[in-house]
Amino acid sequence: MSLHVTDNRRGFAPGLTVITRYDDAAEPTKIGLSVLVLKAGEKWERTVGEETAFLLMSGKVSIVAGNRRAEFTRASLFDDSPSCLHVSAGTPVRIEASADCEFTIYQSANKKKFDARIFLPADTKDEHRGAGQVGGACLRLVRTIFDRTNSDENVELVLGEVVTLPGRWSSYPPHHHPQPEIYHYRFTHPQGYGHAELGDTVLKVQQNDTVKILDGNDHSQCAAPGYGMY
């Protein structure tokens, strides 16, 4: 079991690519992460068996969950705020791609019920963290889509985005959380890269990499100069 998944640096094939499984006994985070790639005109339907969040990475889609419906559009991870669907176990979901699109999908084993929620770009603001600290070296944009402050009590997942500016740090000063996390990486250029700390271990992260952060590990990040890091 590797804490650094590097299998997808050349990109994701059409359809569903599973990166981690929440129900894998060897998966220490107990978080599922997949990437769904659809071509324009394709449809994807499933009744989810667990708490699941669908985060649009790029493209234009119509999304239906139970009796909820929304249109999602995103051209840039770095410039556009997120659109996300968050549902509980037993919810039927249908995605219709109006243009080529890509989602990241997050899962936990949670079977508790809660109302489906749709988050549009206006619901999530860029928080400028680190402004004025250490000469601006750790200024980054944080977008908290949902967490304990705005979720139903039956929700277990927390989901957000961090945009690290070129040559700067995020998750800094070094810190850790009592729960495990997963970081999935994208860069403003395909050759972009950065470094991710897992305690005293330093990893070189590249396009489409995934890092599993276990509870208790400090996890500061930095982006190489010239490359924005998501």
pTM to 2 decimal places:
0.96
Determine the pLDDT at residue 104: 98
Number of Cβ within a 10 Å radius of residue 197: 19
What are the tens digits of pLDDT across the range 24-64?
A: 999 999 999 999 999 999 999 999 999 999 999 999 999 99
pLDDT category at 197 given cuts 50, 70, 90 is: very high
CA distance 203 to 173: 18
* 173 prior amide bond cis, ω within 30: yes
Which pairs with CB-CB distance under 8 Å and at least 24 residues apart come from 6-10? 6/206, 6/209, 8/35, 8/208, 8/209, 8/210, 9/206, 9/207, 9/208, 9/209
Predicted confidence (pLDDT) at residue 1 exceeds the cutoff of 80: no
| 93: nearest Cα among 51, 57, 146 | 51
Determine the pLDDT at residue 131: 86
Determine the pLDDT at residue 66: 85
Structural tokens at position 15: 């359809």
What are the tens digits of pLDDT across the range 78-120?
A: 999 999 999 999 999 999 999 999 999 999 999 999 999 999 9
Predicted confidence (pLDDT) at residue 121 exceeds the cutoff of 80: yes
Alpha-carbon torsion angle 134, 140, 143, 144, nearest 10: -30
